[in-house]
Amino acid sequence: MEKLKLLIIQPQKIFLETEFDDIIIPGKDGDFGVFYGHTPFISVIRPGILEIYNNSEVTKCAIHDGYVTVENNIVTILCEVVEKADEIDKTRAEAAKERAEKRIKSNQDEVDFRRAEIALRKAIARIAIS
Partner 1 sequence: MGNIRDIKSRIGSIRNTRQITNAMKMVAAAKLRKAQQGIIKARPYADNINHMLATIKFKSRETDLKIFVQPEPTAKCALVVVTADRGLCGSFNSFVIKAALQYLKDHPNTDLFCIGKKGTDIFKKKDVKIIKSYTGLFNEMNFSVSLDIASDLKHHFFSNEYDHIEVIYNEFKSVIQQNIVQKQVLPIPDIKVLEGVSLLDYLYEPGEEEVIEELTNKYINVEIWRILLESSAAEQGTRMTAMDSATDNASDLIESLTLQYNMVRQAAITNEIIEIASGAEAQNQ
Q: Which member of 18, 19, 31, 42 binds partner 1 (CB under 8 A)?
A: 42
Residue 41 contacts partner 1 per CB under 8 A? yes
Cβ nearer to partner 1, comparing 32 with 53: 32
Is 74 a binding residue for partner 1 by CB under 8 A? The answer is: no
30, β-bridge pairs: 27
Q: How far is the CB of 105 from partner 1 (least distance, A)?
A: 26
Among residues 110, 44, 47, 128, which one has the least CA distance to residue 82?
Answer: 47
Question: What span, in angstroms and rounded, lies between the C-alpha atoms of 107 and 29?
Answer: 25
Distance between CA atoms of residues 129 and 61, nearest Å: 7
**Rg value, the chain, Cα:** 16
Provide the binding-site residues for partner 1, judged by CB under 8 A. Answer: 9-14, 27-29, 32, 39-44, 66-67, 69, 71-72, 76, 78, 80
